[in-house]
Amino acid sequence: MSSLVVVGFPTVQEAEDVRRELVAIQKEQLVALEDAVVVEREPEGRVHLRQALNLTAAGAVGGGFWGSLVGLLFLNPLLGAAVGAGIGAASGSLSDLGINDGFLREVGDTLAPGSAALCLLVREATPDRLVERLRAHAPHAKLLRTNLSHIDEERLRQLLEQASKQAEALRLS
């Protein structure tokens, strides 16, 4: 079962930096992410979702391929590609894989204007090593929501606090 973790940051840039770092860490198999979305609340109050995967574009590419293949069978590959890309883009934009967009918008509504949150759907992780690698971002990170058990949530909070103190000590020395 996947775990949902929402971590708040004072700026969008910090949330994006952590997401990029997580993608790199995923290659080392310290974490397996199903979804990673940065939720931004502009100073004016509008909420933006920065998805890790553009489903519309992915659908258009896949649809274009299958449309071309069908078009070749009926001797009109250009028409098949165009129709396939259109259908693929439409189905991709309607898909909601990973974290529910409604939930993400609710998170965005709770954020202070100008801040952001990183919403993660984690399949597997090594929390202590993961937090250790993300220590540079810890002074400003705040655990907002999770579906972890109370024990695991408390352990994650402690790891974040410990990393925050260590990062602050390194910054002062």
* Distance, first Cα to last Cα, the chain: 41
pLDDT band at 149 (very low <50, low <70, confident <90, very high): confident
d(CA 173, CA 169): 6
How do residues 15-68 score in pLDDT, each as one tens digit? 999 899 988 888 888 888 888 999 999 999 999 998 875 433 444 445 555 555
Lowest mean pLDDT among 102-116, 121-135, 153-167: 153-167
Helix or strand or coil: residue 18? helix
pTM for the predicted model, two decimal places: 0.65
- Can you give the residue ranges of every domain in the chain? 3-52+115-172, 55-94
φ, ψ of residue 36 in degrees (nearest 5): -145, 110
